[in-house]
Structure 1
Amino acid sequence: MTCLSLRIRHFLSTFASRENGNLSLESALIMPVLVWTVTLTYTFFDGFRENTANLKAAYTVSDLISREGEDAITDTYAESMYLIYNRMVNNNSPLRMRLSVIQYIAADQDAGTEERYRIEWSTACGFESNWTDANLDTLVERLPEMADLDTLIVVETSKDYVPLLNTGWLTRDHKFNNFIFTRPRFVPIVRGPNSTHFCQQDVAPVGVAPGA
């Protein structure tokens, strides 16, 4: 029995001291972790890059509209802004865009009126509905201080993020939502189209209405 125990102990000590096969074993253990780290890092980096691109595109649309005249915004113009936005970002998911102009009217003690906001126009592509005087309370909360009869151009965009590497590790949907407001540069107010939906593309509507 003692001889058998010594043989077993000698075999185990010899096996433990042998180093051949270490590289293969370490590679088998490290490679899955390395692949997971690289792909996940690239996915998150790509997400930040796309988020920045979407924000820049929203500011570009807002700036272009702010430079127009009073009657420049038509359905064709609004749709061109939609196409410009998609050219600036990865066009791998539907874009939702809503363009609005809101005016602030200060309180008038002599006339006995309270301050209020008024939607001059609002048109969308992909959003379920537009801003109106009846549902603008949620919108007003996000606006800066405004002077009497001042107007703001509001550009809202929403775009789903589709990872370049569909690893399945992102367990929830990610959306790039932007809310940009800009004052008109050359005219008191930029007039908009009469229609409430400017695009003709087959775009699935967002299931969130204004004020929801």
Structure 2
Amino acid sequence: MVRILTALIALLLATVQICAALKHREALYEQCSGLGFIPHEDNTDAVTRAPHAFGLPDGEYNLRFRGFYLTQPEMGPQSVLLDYDQGLASAWEVINDGQRGIAIRNVNSNMYLAYIDARPNSLLSMTPTPMYWALRQQEMGEGRTQIQALELYEDQVLVIDELPIPLTPPMIGLVLPDKSGEQEGWDIKPTVRSSRRLWRGQARHAYRRPFRWWRW
């Protein structure tokens, strides 16, 4: 009888914990998804510092940039790749600058990778130190530039699938080049997911066309 009672109590506690975790993940998604932030299900505790204003809290992070594209949708499949791929050991700081925007800064070199202005169609980029990263930017005409498919990793915790300029939804129809020169476009289905599944090509949500992550 005691064993049965203990098992029932353990089952009840496990159910409560699962429900709390699901509610926590749903709350994180509600906070993040409007700006294109998709919290990982691997370790949601690391993003409990809820994104505010323009989506990121102040603080230092260990970030990994897998892809970073500037596009102007009305010009078709013309994209410029900012091909930074530093390892997780480099320290970066995400700065939330009130009503102006957010910036990503290398803590060691005190150089900015990019400053994203909150005003529509604005993106300001600083020239980096060559030994840290290379930055290429192409003028798209009429001062209109859009940043898409930016991924930031904090020990595989936080992924940003798209950060549009202006910083508003919807998250639809990215056009990205791959190494073969082909163009791939898809509809983003907002859902919590793991980057490890994506690396194995096992994303749980459907794309319009399959996206070949291993070609990055």
TM normalised by structure 2 equals 0.30
Which of the two has higher C-alpha Rg? Answer: 1
* Higher RCO, Cα 8 Å, sep 6+: 1
TM-score, normalised by the number of residues in structure 1 = 0.31
